[in-house]
């Protein structure tokens, strides 16, 4: 038996750097100072640190950490790989306390690590992001509330409920959104960007989805939940409800409480694992590789004015 965790990159710092480099630099080392690709040599010897390269073109030194989520982190690269692996392979999430115990680090370090891995899992959502669905495919949409329970709360105000809308391609990916409300004004641009118009659209009978459903060339199938109707022919919303149940078991059972400001990162985490799940042929190590690739071009910086972490996404380097 060969355990996944016995791979050298989970234990040896040089092997860990080589592994991350193979994912982020598939065509050779990319100098972050001048952009030249494949014209650098690895620094050897006892005096240099693991993962250090020197560019022939500009004579400067660099590592694969620069310009990625791993930049300015003192956490060794093999520990990054360990934590990325456990977060990618734990279906319901991996809480900060457990990161702290597993890595034997401070709560603060554990919290930062968890959120940085969540940033790696976040997919780009811009004009270049391909839509989900398409001709012959079915998209299910639904919304739910997260949090806001006053049960077991000894003091302090009850946190407000947060609304999450999710769009799932049956047998495919999910995209969920923390939304201020469920109105056509809020949902129309989300569906416009993310849902392929040739799909068939399934939802419950809520008026907001009826107003949006006619846009789909595959038609709109609505099941009437208030009349206890859950399936009509091929129309149902069981897939998106199944996704919400994984999300809620994670948020209530593993994370307990998720603040409004960070909810979007937890949604990225659950979306990422669901969209790259075993049933779609993605195993735990392949999912970890995808998260490592997602570290590229993102830097987490602390925004003192708002007191929260923000991500600086850099445009991809030419040729990189
Ligand atoms: Zn250079």
pTM (2 d.p.):
0.88
**Whether 92 contacts 250, CB under 8 Å:** yes
Q: 241 and 223 in contact (C-beta within 8 Å)?
A: no
Taking only the tens place, the pLDDT of each residue in 5-23 is: 899 999 999 999 999 999 9
Short-list 267, 106, 271, CA closest to 179: 267
Question: Alpha helix (H) ranges present in the chain?
Answer: 13-24, 77-89, 96-103, 107-121, 184-194, 207-213, 238-250, 263-275, 284-293
**317 — pLDDT class (breaks 50, 70, 90):** very low
d(C-alpha 219, C-alpha 261), whole Å: 36
**Could you tell me the distance, in angstroms and rounded to a whole number, from the CA of residue 66 to the centre of ligand 1?**
12
Look at strands 53-55 and 40-42 and give their pairing. Answer: antiparallel
Residue 28 Cα to ligand 1 middle (Å): 13
Q: Kindly list the protein residues that place their beta carbon closer than 5 angstroms to ligand 1, a single-atom ion.
A: 31, 33-34, 55, 57-58
Residue 124 Cα, ligand 1 centroid: separation in angstroms?
27
Q: What is the pLDDT of residues 147-171, one digit of tens each?
A: 866 565 566 667 778 999 999 999 9
Cα–Cα distance measured from residue 249 to residue 115, given in angstroms and rounded to the nearest whole number: 19
Distance 45 CA to ligand 1 centre (A): 21
Strands of the sheet containing 162-169, edge to edge, are 174-179, 162-169, 138-146, 200-204, 220-223
**Average pLDDT for the chain:** 88
Ligand 1 centre distance from Cα of residue 303 (Å): 30
Distance 64 CA to ligand 1 centre (A): 13
Q: List pLDDT tens digits, range 235-291.
A: 999 999 999 999 999 988 777 777 788 889 999 999 999 999 999 999 999 999 999
Output the CA 40–ligand 1 centroid distance in Å.
8
Give the position of tokens 């993310």.
194
- CA 317 to ligand 1 center in whole angstroms: 13
Distance 35 CA to ligand 1 centre (A): 6
- In three-state secondary structure terms, 177 is strand
- Residue 52 CA, ligand 1 centroid: distance in Å: 13
What is the rounded distance in angstroms from the CA atom of residue 92 to the CA atom of residue 250? Answer: 4
Cα separation, 202 vs 213, whole angstroms: 8
Residue 318 pLDDT exceeds 70: no
CA of 13 to the centre of ligand 1 (A): 24
The Cα–Cα gap between 233 and 295 comes to 43
Q: Which candidate, 85, 93, 87, 179, places its Cα nearest to that of 141?
A: 179
Q: How many A from CA of 209 to the centre of ligand 1?
A: 53
**Ligand 1 centroid to residue 58 C-alpha, Å:** 4
Q: Does the pLDDT value for residue 118 go beyond 70?
A: yes
40-73: pLDDT as tens digits: 999 987 778 899 999 999 999 999 999 899 987 8
């Amino acid at each position: 038996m060969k355990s996944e965790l016995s791979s050298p990159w989970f234990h040896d710092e040089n092997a860990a750097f080589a592994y991350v480099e193979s994912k982020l630099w598939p065509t050779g080392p990319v100098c972050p100072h001048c952009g030249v690709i494949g014209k650098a040599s690895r620094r050897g010897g006892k005096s240099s640190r693991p993962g250090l390269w020197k560019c022939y073109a500009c004579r400067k030194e660099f590592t694969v950490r620069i310009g990625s989520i791993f930049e300015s982190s003192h956490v060794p690269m093999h520990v990054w790989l360990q934590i990325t692996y456990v977060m990618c392979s734990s279906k319901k999430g991996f809480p900060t306390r457990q990161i702290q115990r597993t890595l034997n680090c401070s709560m603060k370090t554990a919290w930062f690590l968890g959120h940085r891995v969540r940033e790696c899992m976040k997919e780009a959502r811009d004009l270049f992001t391909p839509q989900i669905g398409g001709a012959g495919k079915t998209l299910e949409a639904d919304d739910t509330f997260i949090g806001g329970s006053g049960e077991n709360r000894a003091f302090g105000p009850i946190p407000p409920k947060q609304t999450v809308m999710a769009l799932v391609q049956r047998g495919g990916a999910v995209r969920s959104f923390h939304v201020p409300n469920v109105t056509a004004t809020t949902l129309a641009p989300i569906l416009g960007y993310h849902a392929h118009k040739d799909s068939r659209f399934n939802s419950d009978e809520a008026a907001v989805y009826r107003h949006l459903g006619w846009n789909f060339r595959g038609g709109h199938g609505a099941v009437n939940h208030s009349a206890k109707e859950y399936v009509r022919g091929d129309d149902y919303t069981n897939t998106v409800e199944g996704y919400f149940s994984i999300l809620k078991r994670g948020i209530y059972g593993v994370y307990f409480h998720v603040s409004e400001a960070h909810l979007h990162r937890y949604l990225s985490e659950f979306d990422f694992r669901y969209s790259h799940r075993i049933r779609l042929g993605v195993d735990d190590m392949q999912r970890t590789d995808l998260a490592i690739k997602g570290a590229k071009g993102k830097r987490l910086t602390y925004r003192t004015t708002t007191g929260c972490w923000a991500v600086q996404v850099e445009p991809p380097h030419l040729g990189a």
